[in-house]
Amino acid sequence: MNAIPPAAAPDSAYVRIANLTKRFGDFLAVDDVSLDIRRGEIFCLLGGSGSGKTTLLRMLAGFELPSAGTIRIDGADMSAIPPYERPVNMMFQSYALFPHMSVERNVAFGLEQEGLGRDQIRRQVGEILDIVKMGGFGARKPHQLSGGQRQRVALARALVKRPKLLLLDEPLAALDKKLREHTQFELINIQQRLGVTFIVVTHDQEEAMTLGTRLGVMNHGKIAQIGTPSDIYESPATRFVADFIGSVNMFEGRVSDDGADCLRIECGELGCTVRAERTVSCTRGATVWTAIRPEKINISRQPSAAGVQQAESAENLVRGTVREIAYMGDMSIYLVQIDSGRMMRVTLPNIMRGTERPLAREESVWLSWHGSSPVILTE
């Protein structure tokens, strides 16, 4: 899903956030966050409500002062710089368009503060409105626009000053699903065209995965993991991240064999031994969690048809009964109760139109997976 390759200069820390902390009374909203953001990338801060992502964004904009730590943008310390002097612009979740001003006046506002000449302002406003495809709407007032149009004006207003850094607070949250998908790609397009560094805050993992060059998953004011969308999805670092991004089947177990390149884990809850490629360091007897994504599980009527494993080895193979089937069109979700009693979630793409004998509820099935599928988590 990742639409953009990593930025050209990957090691330049364009925005450097160091040991940033924000306290509201006793509440630690942002807890000692350190983070480097590269020039020209779209960095998505993903987290639930109260995870501190919005507070972090507001500190970047200058609306909140850090309790501790520093923010540097392009080498310059932002600590003592008020919001109206920062080389940063923000697109607000509510868009915050000035209701008493026309679209043109809204977009021109930022340039007027710089004291530019009237002709130059008009030219720049015209240019940016064309880029966001709002060229013909300059004279309208915000209340005469649709939600999607307002979003574009807000984007134009934030971009017209060519900030070093554009902050976007839930940029697509107010749009309906179809428009959201369309706008996502357009946003990426505009970002690449103008080369502005974006920091996007969102609670929507799909939005973050599509938009982001890299993601930072936040939880309880801390960064839980930073990585590309596929890093985060395929190799989550913690149980929180594995559970937060996408859906996952998670089982507690004990390491029974730590070979050179493969681990064996006894999972009582799963009722079989999990054999996994060695990706983490752990010792024999340690408690770990096995996380398997629903789309990485095979479902079949025969254990032999399940693929790579032998049935008698009882590794990466469990028996269960289909309890629920949700047909989603492009794929189907199966809730399978395995013999240990736990439910497992399995998704299968519906590749063929109308299978001869589709799986039915209460049918007995075998679930299996490849040794590369389980992610072993130690925390």
Alpha helices in the chain (DSSP H): 53-61, 103-113, 118-131, 147-159, 177-194, 205-211, 229-234, 239-244
- Choose which of 53, 150, 157, 345 interacts with another protein (CB under 8 A): 157
Residue 82 CB, nearest approach to another protein (Å): 7
CA distance linking residue 218 with residue 236, whole number of Å: 13
Question: Among residues 158 and 211, whose Cβ is nearest to another protein?
Answer: 158
Residue 292 CB, nearest approach to another protein (Å): 43
* 100 burial type by CB count under 10 A (0-12 exposed, 13-18 middle, 19+ buried): exposed
Residues of this chain, 62-101, that bind another protein according to CB under 8 A: 62-63, 82-85, 88-90, 92, 94, 96-100
Which residues share a beta bridge with 343?
337
Determine the 3-state secondary structure of 241 from DSSP: helix
Is position 113 an interface residue for another protein (rule: CB under 8 A)?
Answer: yes
- Choose which of 11, 143, 260, 330 interacts with another protein (CB under 8 A): 143
Residue 100 CB, nearest approach to another protein (Å): 5
Residue 65 CB, nearest approach to another protein (Å): 14
Residue 273 CB, nearest approach to another protein (Å): 55
Residue 64 CB, nearest approach to another protein (Å): 11
Is position 117 an interface residue for another protein (rule: CB under 8 A)?
Answer: no
Distances (CA, A) of 225 to 4, 216, 244: 20, 6, 11
Question: Among residues 167 and 187, whose Cβ is nearest to another protein?
Answer: 167
Q: Output the six-digit token pair for 10.
A: 């990957």
Is position 161 an interface residue for another protein (rule: CB under 8 A)?
Answer: yes
Residue 224 CB, nearest approach to another protein (Å): 28
Q: Which residue has the tokens 């310390």?
A: 77
Among the listed residues 156, 187, 157, the one whose alpha carbon sits nearest the alpha carbon of residue 170: 187
Are the beta carbons of 295 and 330 closer than 8 angstroms? no
- Choose which of 67, 72, 74, 109 interacts with another protein (CB under 8 A): 109
- Does the CA dihedral 45-46-52-54 come out positive or negative? positive
Residues of this chain, 6-25, that bind another protein according to CB under 8 A: none
Question: Among residues 89 and 225, whose Cβ is nearest to another protein?
Answer: 89
Is position 272 an interface residue for another protein (rule: CB under 8 A)?
Answer: no
Residue 357 CB, nearest approach to another protein (Å): 57
Is position 174 an interface residue for another protein (rule: CB under 8 A)?
Answer: no
Residues in the interface with another protein (CB under 8 A) total: 26
- Choose which of 110, 138, 294, 374 interacts with another protein (CB under 8 A): 110
Distances (CA, A) of 240 to 261, 283, 300: 26, 22, 30
Is position 269 an interface residue for another protein (rule: CB under 8 A)?
Answer: no
Please list, residue by residue across 317-343, b when 16 or more beta carbons sit within 10 angstroms of its beta carbon and e when fewer do. Answer: bbbbebeeeeeeeeebbbbbebebebe
Q: How do beta strands 249-258 and 287-292 pair? A: antiparallel
Are the beta carbons of 207 and 172 closer than 8 angstroms? yes
Binding site for another protein (CB under 8 A): 61-63, 82-85, 88-90, 92, 94, 96-100, 109-110, 113-114, 141, 143, 157-158, 161
